[in-house]
A and B are shown apart, each in its own frame.
Chain A
Amino acid sequence: MDGNLRLNHFFVKYFEAIRTLVAVLIGFGVSLLFIYFISDEPVKAISTYMFKPFDGIRRIGSMVEYMIPIMFCGLGMCMMMSVGQFNLIGDGANFLAASAVAYISTCLIPNCPPILFPVILIIAGAVIGGGCGVIPAYLQSKFKTNIVVVSLMANYILILGGVYMLLYWMRDPSKTYVGSYAIPEAAKLTNIIPKTKVSTGIILAFLATIAVFWFLYRTKPGYQMRLIGKNAAFAKYSGINVVKYAIIAQVIGGALAGMGGAIDTLGKYDRFIWLASNGYGFDGMMIAVIAKGNPAYIPAAALFLAYIRIGADIVGQTTDVPLDFVLVVQSIIVMLVAAVSFMSGFRQKSVVKIANAEKAGV
């Protein structure tokens, strides 16, 4: 087998991974182009964007901090995608859970023993997130409503609800800015890297990744859910309760997003201060798409997104470029990764070459 043919074999075998990589690189290249054309000092801005996220423990820490909530939201989205539902409630679930957890810890039960307190709060976040996840799932299975539209509309409602809680239930009137009362120290997650805000949340995020992977790929209900996602009709005729498992998967998905919100709030902030969506839910969608719905790839995808996000953040703070270009980059990557026919021509050529070589060999 000559080298060229071996290359073709390699290309066909790892086609999906290569394609994802190319999509990501194209997206990254586009972001560099954007900065180049918009900035007055392109070289400085580009080097800031590419290298500053690794400059010092604080910056690396902020990448890790960013990974925590989006990993949870991404895992939640993996659950949604496993049953083939594009339920985008993660954004609202994450936000409402974060707000509710802040409310519970500051106003409802401010005196609670340390270790137990964050556990209760994270469970509360999961319950709230799961409750949010059930709305679009139930409406979709019962009434066949478009799940994307319903979940997006529900997101607006949930986010307004979270903001309402902040403004009227837990706002600290002694502060000039809008913010909740201070979250009690006992409720906060332990910091594990000094000088940063990286909390035990990152450990929980990796544990959750393992748990979701194990659940989806090593248990019976997980297999049933993936079967529903691949072919709902087949799953139905093989005796799986499609409606039940689809809803359960989406409740778990919402719960994961809710946990992400709770852990983010308890690990990173002194007060709840958000007046608009922080966009973690859509970041989660993006990394779930890049990971092709497989929880095993979520940490890598999250790290990449955290890298370009934090890079964009630093660019936005230190140079003249607005950080919103990263949205454009994200959407290009998502579309290219999702595009079935993207680069399929190359694959076809390789397959033909391999086939011809085999024919010649015979």
Chain B
Amino acid sequence: MINQAYIIDFIVSCIRLATPLIYCTLGALVSMHAGQINMAMEGILLTSGLTGVLVSGYTGSLWLGALGAFAGGVIISLIMGYMNIVINADMMLCGISMNNFASGGTIMLIYALLNTKGSTQSLKSLQFPNWNIPFIKDIPFLGKILSGYNVLTYLAFVMAVVVWIFIFRTRTGLRIRAIGMNPNAAASVGINVNRIRFQAYVYSGIFAALGGAFMTMGYLSYWAQNMMGGRGFIGISAANLSGGNVLLGTLAAVAFGATNALAIVLQTLNLKPELMQMLPYIATILGLVAISVAQKKRDDNIIKKAAMHVRLEREADEAKEAAVRTVR
């Protein structure tokens, strides 16, 4: 039963299901470096997915649709930023409320525009195309694994590089990291902390918006109520796991995508779908625990090393003193 076609299918669905998670992870990473946790990821996915579908459906242009998705993500980020930064509401509470806001607001929006409840299937919207890479698609095994994905899937990996450059090689990225490490120190050298925080929210909204666009204009061809199923939170967890490292974050997102794919495969094997659907969430919790254990071990090692260093120095000092004493 396990043959080549099966393995190819599995890998392909891993990558495909990982795509929105990668975008969310990237968005969460940006806000994480700014010392924030953008809990509104789920809401950003829902909103950007919907605005993308609506704009592409009404204008007939995919590019405007993508812009619409960005706008949706940015709007949620701006509201979140206003609530959290300007009027100082708790970050977690804001994020959770924004998710509720988005899940109610999107339903209101489609009702006002399309007069339907729950999904946009009545609107003919556009989809991002799949890309069969010339030449590579003809390679026997690799061709099927590497070629034929949605363009947004390829873009996800490109964006991972872009986000790495953005965070670690640009002026804004440096400032974001500075306010994340120590906001007071950053403020003391003349960085406008609140403005950078706002920017971090907006950038994280933009990156996550691509995930929303993929869900409604690539993975599916329509938007449906509560379709994201916790993907935003899984992205946040992947960012937590990575400890700020973009490459690790992307890999964690792919791993969570794999548990998603595994859940789907196991369902086809006649296992109860309700139990299999738990897998990604269980994996997320286990991942968070594993990373904290690893971090604790690392910290313990550092402390141990430091303690050993201190002891060695003291011993050296004592030896020196003893030597001086004997010379006298």
Contacts and interface: CB of A to CB of B under 8 A. Distances in A.
A339 B87 contact: yes
Nearest to B85: A341
Interface string B252-274: 00000000000000000000101
Contacts of A233: none
B39 A334 contact: no
Interface of A: 34, 37-38, 86, 88, 139, 143-146, 148-150, 152-154, 156-157, 160-161, 163-164, 167-168, 282, 285, 289, 321-322, 324-332, 334-336, 338-342
A328 B92 contact: no
Contacts of B87: 336, 339-342
B93 A86 contact: yes
Interface in B225-278: 229-230, 233-234, 236-237, 240, 272, 274-275, 277-278
Given A143-B292, A331-B98, A335-B83, 19 more contacts: A38-B111, A38-B112, A86-B92, A144-B292, A148-B96, A149-B233, A153-B281, A153-B284, A164-B272, A164-B274, A282-B96, A322-B117, A324-B108, A325-B104, A330-B104, A334-B93, A334-B97, A340-B87, A342-B88
B105 interface: yes
Contacts of A328: 100-101, 104-105, 108
A88 B96 contact: yes
Contacts of A38: 108, 111-112
A331 B86 CA distance: 17
Counting chain B CB atoms within 10 Å of each CB, the highest count among A149, A157, A164 belongs to A149
Contacts of A289: 93
Interface of B: 37, 39, 83, 86-90, 92-98, 100-101, 103-105, 107-108, 111-112, 117, 229-230, 233-234, 236-237, 240, 272, 274-275, 277-278, 281-282, 284-285, 288-289, 292-293, 296
Contacts, number: 135
A338 B90 contact: yes
Nearest to A152: B233
Contacts of A167: 274
A38 B240 CA distance: 40
Contacts of B285: 139, 145, 150, 153-154
A148 B87 CA distance: 22
Summarize B's interface: helix, strand, loop or mixed: helix
A229 to B, nearest CB: 13
B323 to A, nearest CB: 43
A240 B293 CA distance: 25
Contacts of A164: 272, 274-275
6 contacts: A37-B112, A143-B292, A152-B230, A164-B274, A164-B275, A322-B117
Contacts of B292: 143-145
Contacts of B278: 156-157, 160-161
A324 B104 contact: yes
A189 B117 CA distance: 36
A161 B100 CA distance: 23
Contact of B281 (A145, A156, A327, A336): A156
Contacts of B230: 152-153, 156
A322 B87 CA distance: 30
Counting chain A CB atoms within 10 Å of each CB, the highest count among B98, B100, B233, B277 belongs to B100
A160 B104 contact: no
B281 A146 contact: no
B118 to A, nearest CB: 9
Contacts of A335: 83, 89, 93-94, 97-98
Contacts of A338: 89-90, 93-94, 97
Given A153-B233, A157-B281, A330 B88 contact: no
